[in-house]
Chain A
Amino acid sequence: MAKRKAAVSIQECVACGCCMKVCPKNAISIPKGIHANIHRELCIGCGKCAKECPASIISMEVINE
C-alpha cells in the first residue's frame, strides 16, 4: 500500500502551531516561527494536521515506495 505523508505549503503557512498540537507523533516543529516543518521519518500520515490547519495548507501526499 502506498504511504501517505503530510506536506506543508511553506509560502502560505502562518506558523500558528495548530498542526503541532494535534500531531500524535510530535513530528511537526516550527523552529523559526516562519513555517511548520514535518519530520518525514516520524510522520505516519494520519492526516490530523491537515484537518486541523486553519489555513488548510497541509496536504497528504501519496508516496510510492
Chain B
Amino acid sequence: MTPKKKWYDYLWIVSLTYLILGFFNILFAWLGLLCFFIPLLIAIAKGNKAYCNKYCGRGQLFSLVGGRFRLSRKKDVPKWMKSKYFRYGFLVFFFAMFFLMLWNTWLVFSGAKNLRTAVTLLWTFKLPWHWAYHGTLFSAGVAQFAFGFYSVMLTSTILGFLTMALFKPRSWCVYCPMGTMTQLICKARNAATQQKK
C-alpha cells in the first residue's frame, strides 16, 4: 500500500520549475531564498526539520529521478561522507562561498565592479549566461546576486544529481548544508529546553 499523496508531495515541480526559470530570466533566482529562509524559520520557530521531512522539493526530485526513474546505483554512501567532519566542513565551505558571493554582489552594488553575466558552476567554471539577462529595474547588484545565487543552486543540484547517480537517490540529504544547519539549530534548541527543565 502506498501512502496517500499530500499536496506537498508535488513540490518537486516547484524545484524543477525554479531551475528552468533561471534559463529564461536570471532574476527568478531570487525566489530561491525561500529554500533558505523557510527551513531556518521552521527550525527556529518549531524546532523540527519539517522542511526536510515534508516540503523539500529538491529531495523529492532526487527520489523521483533516482528512485522511480532508477537513475541511481543505490549503493551506500562512503563512510567519510556521512561523518560529522565532512558534513560540518561542507557547511563551513558552503557558507564561505556564499559570503564570497555576497561580497561580489556588494562590489557590483557599490559600483566597484562591473556586472558579470555568468553562472559559476562548482565554484570554478564560469558559464556565459547572458541570454537570461534582460536588464534590471534596480541596481546591477540585484542581477549580480541573482547570478550568484543561481550558481549556488545549480552547483548544489549538480552535486546532488552526481551523488544520486553514484549512491542512494537522496544522498544529497546526507551533506546538504541546509539540512546540517537545521539539525544543528534543532540540537541547540533542544539542549536549551532541556536545561530549563
- A residues near B (Cβ < 8 Å) are 12, 14-18, 20-21, 24, 26, 30-34, 51-57
Contacts and interface: CB of A to CB of B under 8 A. Distances in A.
Nearest to B46: A33
Nearest to B168: A54
Which DSSP category, helix, strand, loop or mixed, fits chain A's interface?
Answer: loop
B186 A33 contact: yes
The 7 closest A-B pairs by CB, nearest first: A17-B53, A33-B186, A33-B49, A16-B173, A33-B48, A56-B76, A54-B170
Interface of B: 1, 3, 43, 47-50, 52-54, 59, 63, 74, 76-77, 82, 87, 167-174, 176, 179-180, 182-183, 185-187, 190
Contacts of B185: 33
Nearest to A26: B3
A52 B63 CA distance: 9
30 contacts: A12-B82, A14-B87, A14-B174, A14-B183, A15-B49, A15-B52, A16-B49, A16-B52, A16-B53, A17-B52, A17-B53, A18-B63, A21-B3, A21-B53, A24-B3, A30-B49, A32-B47, A32-B48, A33-B47, A52-B168, A52-B170, A54-B77, A54-B167, A54-B170, A54-B172, A54-B174, A55-B77, A56-B76, A56-B168, A57-B82
Given A16-B59, A54-B77, A33 B182 contact: yes
Contacts of A17: 49, 52-54
Nearest to A29: B53
B52 A32 contact: no
Nearest to B81: A55
A39 to B, nearest CB: 16
A1 B70 CA distance: 33
A54 B171 contact: yes
